[in-house]
Amino acid sequence: MTTLQVPRLGVVVEIRKTGEDTGGELVEFDVVGRARGIIAQPHVHTQQTETHEVIEGSMRLVIDGREHVLRPGDAMTVPVGAPHRQLPGPDAGPGRVRVQLRPAADAEAFLHRLAEMDLNRFGFPPPVAAAELVRDFGATGHAAKPSLRVQRKLSEAILELASREYRFVDEWDVAAPREAVFGAVADARSYPRWWKPVYVGVEADGEPALGKESRQHFKGRLPYHLHTRSRIVRLEPPHVVEGEVDGDLRGHGRWTLTETPSGGTHVRFDWRVYADRPLLRALTPVLRPAFRWNHAWAIARAREGLEPYARSRATASTSVA
């Protein structure tokens, strides 16, 4: 039996049967104490029935606005989709209620998450943790109000504001052969020549190859400079080059090149990074729109510079041949 201590919720949870034990049929656990905080709020199980059996003490079970007082030996099942809440009964002192959720679904994971959360003294999670609950468990259970759709929108907004992650996808066409474009984007040493004035300097040890590293110094319109180190983790000429990045930004970037019917190149740049410089990390929630604007400005410079540079490479290559 697994015991979860959740003092901020006023209870101890004793898990008696898991989904693994029952082949996914149910999860069974005892709730010992006087429940409060988030677990005493109205909620809905969208895929499970929930049966409460009072072992000791008493409880008040409110289903669809109707209150039922249960005492030792009493049991009641909450139908799928019915708004309900569990409250301590009129008897003083802690109680013991045996709960079964059918099917098991993610109930055990939810209980462990509650036990791990940093709840406030009233038994409620901070906004980010609450948003993560909606994201991770909303499909099987959620607060009765507002609607799940609204809860998801709010949680997405909260997680977006709190995240230090940036995801960008930029696509455009370049009127130059794919081999020439690949040569430019795969060799970071060329960036200061065509991605101006974004890239101030790049150092690398030789030609692009799997595992090769380069060191970048770049800037945007915002008043800061960034230093990163990249390592090539995927190199498939003339189609894909991908690198892992660390330093002031951490994550990865991938260039994907596709030949167009006209003989040019369709460019897709996927950029997924975290802001790791302390000041950027602290200001990310406030400055996120500015960072996105800064990225858009930088990509505009890439659009301006990549095509003429790749065309000149193609012309030079033809001349040599």
Helix (H) or strand (E) holding 182: helix 178-186
Considering the domain architecture, whether residues 147 and 183 belong to the same structural domain is answered as no
Residue 166, pLDDT score: 80
218 and 259 co-located in one domain: yes
pLDDT for residue 158: 84
User: Is a pLDDT exceeding 80 seen at residue 25?
Assistant: yes
Strands 27-33 and 95-102: antiparallel
- Number of H helices and E strands in the chain, helices first, is 6, 18
| Confidence grade of residue 152 (pLDDT, cut at 50, 70, 90) | very high
229 and 173, same structural domain? yes
Q: What is the pLDDT of residue 213?
A: 95
- Residue 170 vs residues 86, 167, 227, 293: alpha-carbon distances, Å: 50, 10, 22, 13
Look up the CATH number of the domain holding residue 72.
Answer: 2.60.120.10
- From 162, 183, 199, the end of a domain falls on 162
Structure token pair of residue 29: 């656990």
Q: In terms of residue numbers, what domain contains 225?
A: 165-320
Residues 129 and 196 in one domain: no
Q: For 144, list phi and psi in degrees, rounded to 5.
A: -65, -35
> Burial letters for 33-61: b for 16+ Cβ neighbours within 10 Å, e otherwise?
bbbbbbbbeebbbeebbbbbbbeebbbeb
Q: What is the pLDDT of residue 292?
A: 83
Provide the pLDDT for residue 275.
74
DSSP 224: -
Could you tell me the pLDDT band of residue 51, with boundaries at 50, 70 and 90? very high
| For residues 118-128, average pLDDT | 93
Q: What is the pLDDT of residues 265-275, one digit of tens each?
A: 999 999 998 87
pLDDT at 134 > cutoff 80: yes
- The reported pLDDT for the residue numbered 244 is 96
- Taking residues 280-305, report their average pLDDT: 80
Residues 177 and 211 in one domain: yes
Instruction: Give the predicted TM-score (pTM) of the model.
Output: 0.60
Q: Is the pLDDT of residue 301 over 90?
A: yes
Mean pLDDT across 65-75: 96
**Number of domains composing the chain:** 2
Q: Are residues 277 and 172 in the same domain?
A: yes
pLDDT at position 222: 78
Of 162, 187, 205, the position where a domain reaches its end is 162
The pLDDT score that the predictor gives to residue 223 is 79
Asked if 280 and 192 sit in the same domain, the reply is: yes
pLDDT at 284: 59
Average pLDDT over residues 294-319: 90
pLDDT reading at 280 higher than 80: no
User: Which of the listed residues 124, 146, 162 is the one where a domain comes to its end?
Assistant: 162
Please say if the pLDDT value at position 173 is more than 80. yes
Tell me, yes or no, whether 93 and 201 share the same domain.
no
Does position 277 have pLDDT exceeding 80, yes or no?
Answer: no
**Same domain, yes or no, for 6 and 142?**
yes
Residues 36 and 148 in one domain: yes
pLDDT at 279 > cutoff 60:
no
How far is Cα 318 from Cα 321, in angstroms, rounded to an integer?
Answer: 5
Whether residue 66 is found in the same domain as residue 179? no
When pLDDT is cut at 50, 70 and 90, the band that residue 221 belongs to is: confident
Do 150 and 72 have their domain in common? yes
Residues 188-202 have a mean pLDDT of 96
